[in-house]
Structure 1
Amino acid sequence: MALSRFAQGPATAAQPESQALLGELQVCDPPGDPLEALLERNRGFSRAWQAMSRESDPVKRLKLKTEFFYGGCQINPQALNEGQRPWAALLSCADARVAPEFVFASGSGELFQVRCAGNTAFDDAVASMEYAVSVLKVPLIVVLGHSNCGAVKAAMGSDPLTPLLEGLVKPIRASLVSGDSLSQAVQGNARYAAGLLPARSAVLKQAQASGALTIRSAYFDLATGLVTVN
């Protein structure tokens, strides 16, 4: 496959120490279904997020957040210098309130991420997911929308936008259903983008058809910190 030219590392055999490090790239991989693992990790995050909401002191809020991550896992940075083997991929919004590593309690090297305002299936996003699936063998792609998304809100509105922003919201507008609330529109946009990934990529379509890849859409509620599949 043409994408194999993007494979990491030299063509020569790796040194024994490099091989040992590469073996550490999957030490944080969860057992079983990767989608359920994401949701289970998020449930823990949601509990911590809501506890932070009840704390008035910002320093204590950070402590609560840090304590939650004490139970997590981190791949050896020296192993990450040799390569990557993420176990899930996220196409999510660029919104500063949405940080997938926190939302899914994951360390560096676990999640392959593409982020843009409105989590749309733009050309570079689709190409990046092709790389994730073909080269990195990622078995799961989640398109993650979130509550109060500004990009979806802009797509629903009539205010004039710059030419580049018009281009950004164009695929979001294609997903809109008349009468939908903002929350419904966000979820519909995530489903629409998830459907576009295999529709626009033979690589992703083939991987999905073979069972090697699952593509789902999900919704992150900023008030509760909870992610639901939609």
Structure 2
Amino acid sequence: MCQDCTKGTISRRGLFAGGLALTLAASSGSMAFAQSSEAPPATPDEALKRLIDGNARYVANSPINTDHSVGRSARSTGQQPFAAVVTCSDSRVVPELIFDQGPGDLFVVRVAGNFINEDGLASLEFGAAVLGIKTIVVLGHTSCGAVRATIESIQDKILPPGHLPSLVNAIRPAVYDAMADNPADLLAAATAQNAKLNAEKAAVADPILSDFHASGKIKSSAGIYDIATGKVAFL
């Protein structure tokens, strides 16, 4: 049995050498960008600007990605998203609408509270090493129920029932950080800190994501989506 397997880890070299990345990258197809009239972003900064511009269109109610039948046939051959968005499961938060992007443009990882666990890291590694994403955005949002529940759990010193404690424990560090500053709006401060902490986590996660960040192939950032206005503020 190989040493990497016994350790339960996989190196970047192992990912590609094993053929998985090559096979899946080939299946992405050169026509994967046919769904959009925009050229694929070449750099992380260009990818982030495309998201910022898309959000501006969304706020102005002037979207350009309205015909989802365009490129449907091409998308059946594979995918090649340019950005990953780690976002909350909240039904009011829809990244493709918020950033005015079409099907196939965004690789979305969702969980209540938009934190990154082991499964989330694996998904982002796949997005970076196989799909070629250029940027990762951890997107929190106003009035986040998951963050609010974590605050209440800490203040009441009571864990919620079922599997909810795992969610609370994941968000707890951000709440403690925010509490230390005694903010006027603890929910807003904790939501922002949660997004920032998880963007930092994506940037330093060994071995794949940290390597991509160090080489400048990808960048991570945090943002807050205002449900009332539709605007994303990058932190």
Could you say which TM-score interval applies, normalised by the shorter chain?
A: 0.7 to 0.9
**Does structure 2 conserve the Cα–Cα contact (< 8 Å) formed by 1:89 and 1:142?**
yes
Which secondary structure state, in structure 1, belongs to the residue aligned with residue 56 of structure 2?
A: helix
Q: Percent identity?
A: 33
Which secondary structure state, in structure 2, belongs to the residue aligned with residue 198 of structure 1?
A: helix
Partners of 1:88 and 1:72 in 2: CA distance = 19
| Residue 53 (structure 1) aligns with | none
**Does structure 2 conserve the Cα–Cα contact (< 8 Å) formed by 1:155 and 1:172?**
yes
**Does structure 2 conserve the Cα–Cα contact (< 8 Å) formed by 1:29 and 1:87?**
no
Q: CA deviation at 1:138?
A: 0.7
User: Is 2:11 the partner of 1:3?
Assistant: no
| Residue 167 (structure 2) aligns with | 168
Partners of 2:209 and 2:224 in 1: CA distance = 22
Deviations for 1:37-69, whole angstroms, at most 9, x for unmatched residues?
A: 111110121122xxxxxxxxxxxxxxxxxxx44
**Equivalent residues in 2 for 1:101-112, closer than 5 Å:** 101-112=96-107
Segments of 5+ residues of structure 1 without an aligned counterpart are: 49-67
**Does structure 2 conserve the Cα–Cα contact (< 8 Å) formed by 1:119 and 1:143?**
yes
- Mark the CA change 1:22 to 1:145 in structure 2 (over 3 Å): closer, same or farther: closer
| Residue 62 (structure 1) aligns with | none
Segments of 5+ residues of structure 2 without an aligned counterpart are: 1-12
**Does structure 2 conserve the Cα–Cα contact (< 8 Å) formed by 1:43 and 1:226?**
yes
| Residue 212 (structure 1) aligns with | 217
| Residue 99 (structure 1) aligns with | 94
| Residue 120 (structure 2) aligns with | 125
- Mark the CA change 1:6 to 1:164 in structure 2 (over 3 Å): closer, same or farther: farther
- Mark the CA change 1:30 to 1:73 in structure 2 (over 3 Å): closer, same or farther: farther
Partners of 1:3 and 1:26 in 2: CA distance = 29
Partners of 1:112 and 1:191 in 2: CA distance = 19
Q: CA deviation at 1:201?
A: 2.9
Partners of 2:130 and 2:88 in 1: CA distance = 24
- State TM-score, norm by structure 2: 0.79
Partners of 2:201 and 2:29 in 1: CA distance = 37
Deviations for 1:77-105, whole angstroms, at most 9, x for unmatched residues?
A: 12111111101110000000000011011
- State TM-score, norm by structure 1: 0.80
**Does structure 2 conserve the Cα–Cα contact (< 8 Å) formed by 1:9 and 1:83?**
no
Equivalent position amino acid for 2:100 in 1: A
Partners of 2:130 and 2:30 in 1: CA distance = 20
Q: CA deviation at 1:26?
A: 6.7
Partners of 2:187 and 2:215 in 1: CA distance = 35
Equivalent position amino acid for 1:2 in 2: G
**Does structure 2 conserve the Cα–Cα contact (< 8 Å) formed by 1:28 and 1:110?**
no
Q: CA deviation at 1:22?
A: 4.8
Equivalent position amino acid for 1:209 in 2: A
Partners of 2:24 and 2:111 in 1: CA distance = 31
Partners of 1:93 and 1:26 in 2: CA distance = 25
Partners of 1:2 and 1:25 in 2: CA distance = 32
| Residue 133 (structure 2) aligns with | 138
Equivalent position amino acid for 1:98 in 2: V
Deviations for 1:15-43, whole angstroms, at most 9, x for unmatched residues?
A: xxx96645736754455711111111101
Please, what is the CA RMSD of the aligned residues?
Answer: 2.6
User: Is 2:50 the partner of 1:34?
Assistant: no
Equivalent position amino acid for 1:46 in 2: V
| Residue 43 (structure 1) aligns with | 56
Q: CA deviation at 1:164?
A: 1.6
Equivalent position amino acid for 2:160 in 1: L
- Out of 24, 29, 43, which is 2:34 matched to? 24
